[in-house]
Amino acid sequence: MDVNDLTTGFGFEIFDSIYNGVVAIDQQGIIKLFNEAAAKIMGVAKEETIGRRVEEVIPNTSLLEILKTGKAENNQKMHLGNCEIISNRGPICKDGKIVGAIGVFQDISDFEALSLELDNVKEINNDLDAIIESVADGIVVGSADGMILRANSAYLQITGIQEKEFVGKNVRELINQGYMNKSVTEMVFRTKSRVNVVDIRSGKELLMTGAPVFNEEKEVTRVVTIVRDISELTELKGKLEQAEDAKNRYLKELEHFRSQNAFKKIITKNNDMQKKLDTAYHVARVDSTVLILGESGVGKELIAQLIHRASHRSEKPFIKINCGAIPANLLESEFFGYEAGSFTGALKEGKKGLFELADGGTLFLDEVGELPLEHQVKVLRAIQEKEILRVGGKKTIKLDIRIIAATNRDLEAMIREKAFREDLYYRLNVVPMTIPPLRQRKEDVIPIALELLARYNTAYGYQKWIHPEVMDCLLNYDWPGNIRELENTIERLVVTSMDDCITKDAMAEIKSIDVHPAPNGLTSLKAFLEKEENRLLEEAYRLMGSTRKAAAVLGISQSSMVKKMKKYGIEIQN
């Protein structure tokens, strides 16, 4: 066959109709055939190519090399025009001689793009497979018809199921065969939302979270289920709860010991005082109202603080109200607060009262005997109802507070004199506690004095000590101001004494304390009279059986009888 035979007759139309480009040249390299596909790939008109040298139309062509060598070249990639092509080239022979060459090529640009995209998809799939297999949680993928498409190694290990038993089967079939109790895949398809399920499989507690995968039409096409073995987590949770319970128990015990130690910081060797402290510690654990009675300076506020610290309210506020220090016209607004614009000068945002500030904690009503009579009914209502009404307010405010009150006044005498409400007294007097004065616990004077001396030495950087003669003076003094007076006296001695030893010379500056004790066998007139008065009161009360009858025998009023008995710590029987 000659090259010219390719370009004539019916064969020419055949070459023009095929998809591949075809180029044929004769022995001189002249183009004899250039079909439409080749012209399109090269971006030239077919008519302009016939009769031209091939290298003019296709630069760097290998067809001329084929004419010389006579060797065919198949599946050769090359860049032709704007296209990436693959070409098969070979010689045209007639009677054993090379009479021309022919090249058949195809544009593979689209195939190259698809191949590159396919390679990218394969790489992504490989990465995704590696990620899914590296996750410690089980991963299961289900299709819209409930078929299990894949399950990673972690899931198979968690459940103890082999891949051939699970993958490729329908969830209904797996449930019927006992591989699972419930299907998260079905739940997600039904609800079209995320589902969390806890199930027991192979003796393990599993948390399964199913999430839907939507297509562009918002239809669920896949369900991805994450499976996690929470058996260990459940066990750890139980251990954590046990540890938390133990921690809370230890904290309570620690707080118990701290509160006990706090009470132990009150220095006393007096049996009566120790009983009072034991009672205070015992009632601290409940919310009953406590009324602390005693002379000024005996430590009523300290006892109230210790009760609060030993209670379950210790982390909440301890609010002190000195009922005698607030002017009567401000008392209601200070106690209960006020709403915005309640009166001239009021804060525009209003103000919480002291009762409200103590919510959750302890409210200490110090000097409650000084509370004006006209305000006692409002305090009674607040204590009784556990609610307050702000000045200018219309809505009551509920409170959760524990009440501790204290006074050095004789409230029973005040009730008789119509100076204190009886109902308020009984509301406060749930757990009464009378703190004995220092003169009735002389065994505590020296230990307290030494403790105070150490405190002030540390505070001021001194190393002072008290001469035994001064100790005798302190011991023989009656301390009408009780511990507060003793505290002030020790501080004064420490800061005014010129020498490290505090002697009688320093004591001489304190006029109230006698630095010249009576000779052996004698005592001061005041001490003698008080001792006899104490004895006489005890004897009269013992014989007559009531304060009224004893007061009549002694020629004094009943209120004076009661007051004196409390002064000397004589217990009054109900």
> Does the pLDDT value for residue 523 go beyond 60?
no
Nearest to residue 160, comparing CAs of 206, 223, 129?
206
pLDDT at 150: 81
Beta pairing partners, 140:
151, 225
Count other C-beta atoms under 10 Å from residue 142's C-beta.
25
Nearest to residue 150, comparing CAs of 162, 163, 165?
163
| DSSP conformational letter for 354 | H
pLDDT tens column, 406-454: 999 999 999 999 999 999 999 999 999 999 999 999 999 999 999 999 9
Rounded to an integer, what distance in angstroms lies between the CA atom of residue 509 and that of residue 511? Answer: 6
Which tokens hold the place of 188? 């997600």
Nearest to residue 68, comparing CAs of 89, 35, 91, 38?
91
| DSSP conformational letter for 541 | H
pLDDT at 335: 92
Are the beta carbons of 550 and 563 closer than 8 angstroms?
no
Pairing of strands 362-366, 318-322: parallel
How much is the mean pLDDT over the chain? 82
> Does the pLDDT value for residue 477 go beyond 80?
yes
Q: Which of 253-267, 346-360, 539-553 has the lowest mean pLDDT?
A: 253-267
What mean pLDDT do residues 204-228 have?
82
Which tokens hold the place of 369? 């005997």
- The residue with tokens 């995320």 is 194
Count other C-beta atoms under 10 Å from residue 236's C-beta.
12
Q: How confident is the model at residue 566 (pLDDT cuts 50, 70, 90)?
A: confident
Give the DSSP per-residue string, 483-524.
HHHHHHHHHHHHHH-SSSEE-HHHHTT-TTS-SSPPPTT---
Rounded to an integer, what distance in angstroms lies between the CA atom of residue 551 and that of residue 367? Answer: 27
Angle between helices 468-476 and 445-460 (to 10 degrees): 120
Give the DSSP per-residue string, 280-320.
HHHHTTS---EEEE--TTS-HHHHHHHHHHTSTTTTS-EEE
- The residue with tokens 């709860």 is 241
Are the beta carbons of 405 and 362 closer than 8 angstroms?
no
Rounded to an integer, what distance in angstroms lies between the CA atom of residue 24 and that of residue 102? Answer: 4
pLDDT at 7: 54
pLDDT tens column, 49-84: 888 898 888 887 888 888 888 888 888 877 766 677
pLDDT at 153: 78
Are the beta carbons of 338 and 392 closer than 8 angstroms?
yes
Helix, strand, coil shares of the chain, percent, nearest 5, are: 45, 20, 30
Q: Which residues contact 432 (CB under 8 A, 6 or more apart)?
A: 290, 291, 293
Cα distances (Å, whole numbers) of residue 256 to 260, 282, 300, 433:
6, 11, 21, 22
Are the beta carbons of 105 and 20 closer than 8 angstroms?
yes
Rounded to an integer, what distance in angstroms lies between the CA atom of residue 220 and that of residue 453? Answer: 84
Nearest to residue 274, comparing CAs of 433, 404, 430?
433
pLDDT tens column, 250-282: 665 555 555 545 555 678 888 898 999 889 989
Region of residue 178 (phi > 0: left; psi between -120 and 50: alpha; otherwise: beta): left
Are the beta carbons of 2 and 102 closer than 8 angstroms?
no
Cα distances (Å, whole numbers) of residue 506 to 141, 469, 473, 495:
94, 12, 12, 10
Nearest to residue 63, comparing CAs of 101, 92, 105?
101
pLDDT at 339: 86
pLDDT tens column, 363-377: 999 999 999 999 999
Between 241 and 431, the more confident residue is 431
Beta pairing partners, 320:
364
Rounded to an integer, what distance in angstroms lies between the CA atom of residue 55 and that of residue 71? Answer: 19
Rounded to an integer, what distance in angstroms lies between the CA atom of residue 290 and that of residue 404? Answer: 5
Are the beta carbons of 185 and 142 closer than 8 angstroms?
yes
Are the beta carbons of 224 and 210 closer than 8 angstroms?
yes
What mean pLDDT do residues 151-179 have?
76
Q: Is the dihedral of CA 189, 195, 201, 207 positive or negative?
A: positive
pLDDT at 195: 83
Give the DSSP per-residue string, 355-382.
HHHTTTSEEEEETGGGS-HHHHHHHHHH
Are the beta carbons of 23 and 6 closer than 8 angstroms?
no
Rounded to an integer, what distance in angstroms lies between the CA atom of residue 275 and that of residue 143? Answer: 79
pLDDT at 428: 95
Rounded to an integer, what distance in angstroms lies between the CA atom of residue 270 and that of residue 444? Answer: 7
Rounded to an integer, what distance in angstroms lies between the CA atom of residue 23 and that of residue 16? Answer: 11
